[in-house]
Structure 1
Amino acid sequence: MPDAPQDDFTPVLDAVGPRLRDLRQQRGTTLAQLSESTGISISTLSRLESGQRRPTLELLLPLARAHQVPLDELVDAPPTGDPRVRLKPFSRHNRTFLPLTRRPGGLQAYKVVFPPEPLPVGQELKTHEGYEWVYVLSGRLRLLLGDRDVELHEGEVAEFDTRLPHWLGNTGPGTTEALSLFGPQGERMHVRARPAGRSDD
């Protein structure tokens, strides 16, 4: 099948600039701030938003990451026929991670399989930027958070600021499976639950 004439893409490309400007203004970000986070000059960003510069993949990829939206959203691509996420699992620190999201940046969701492992020795608690939410699907998880030591059972949830010294793992005896959401600082996942024994009216 022959390639579509370039004019067919003109309306799509013309709409990218206003969409970029709307996203930036919705987030209260200045052109200077966006330039600093993407490495794209202020003049190029301004010309993109005004339609004086044609968007390219090289420009749109860092902008999608900065705005924390899929690239498809920037170009208003039509929905795909299959919405299922087919990302491959990977291992890190003997744990298996199954990605459940594919959007760049922002909140990331995983199913995590924790094999049994010993508690960290001494002061081996880690800190890093971000915020984490974890739900235990099966088994038990041990959470060391600052001076707290908490054991999470099936169906229990924890959320915490990862800037606090922490360790999350499975001390056995069997394998543990959990859902984990991790996001940048300020993007928090809140859990609301009724007290035990209380029912809806």
Structure 2
Amino acid sequence: MNNLGSRLKEIRTRAGMSLRELARQANVSPSLVSQIENGKSQPSVATLYAFSQLLNVSVDELFDSSTNGGAPHAPDDGAEPETERDGWMNPTRAWHPSEYANRVSVVHPAHRPRLAMADGVVWERLTATPEHDVNFMKISYEPGATSTAGGDLVSHAGYEYGFVLSGQLDVTIGEELFHLHAGESLGFDSVIPHVLHNPGPEPFEGIWFVHGGRH
């Protein structure tokens, strides 16, 4: 389990919203919110989006930066060379101070903040720091995993673009169903009700980019 529950509770408390009020507005039970905040349960993708919109925070701000390497930092001096033999920057040293430190970043796999949600859905943030209007992520769905509890279609602000790395993914958008395989991609307006589902026997992995609105 990651620290999503404690972060949600902190943000909710800071916003001055009671647990029952958040549950009412998100159309879930107070016991579910309590279980999520206490680390005993995980939200679906749809519930996570609902919480972020009601609490006026970006989904990016909910990523766990303490599990997988924590906040970016430079390794101790002498731990690893700054550059590879071919002259390229060593990704594990990407946070070593440089002329472009505030404009260029590389995220090593060990340093990716992540969100583990219900039904075996995991998001890994591919940006080095939280972004307010953009989500750039690697996402994975275990076999049978769905972005919403019960497979209900949901909508939110923004546009989504996805690329399938491996496995397969069913994306229902409005009344249309798109069955995607490795190498295929799609884009759509997230205001259109939609749901993601892995129908295959193998885990699905893809690159997902969401922008526009507040996520």
After TM superposition, the score normalised by the length of structure 1 is 0.48
Decide which structure has the larger Cα Rg and report it.
Answer: 1
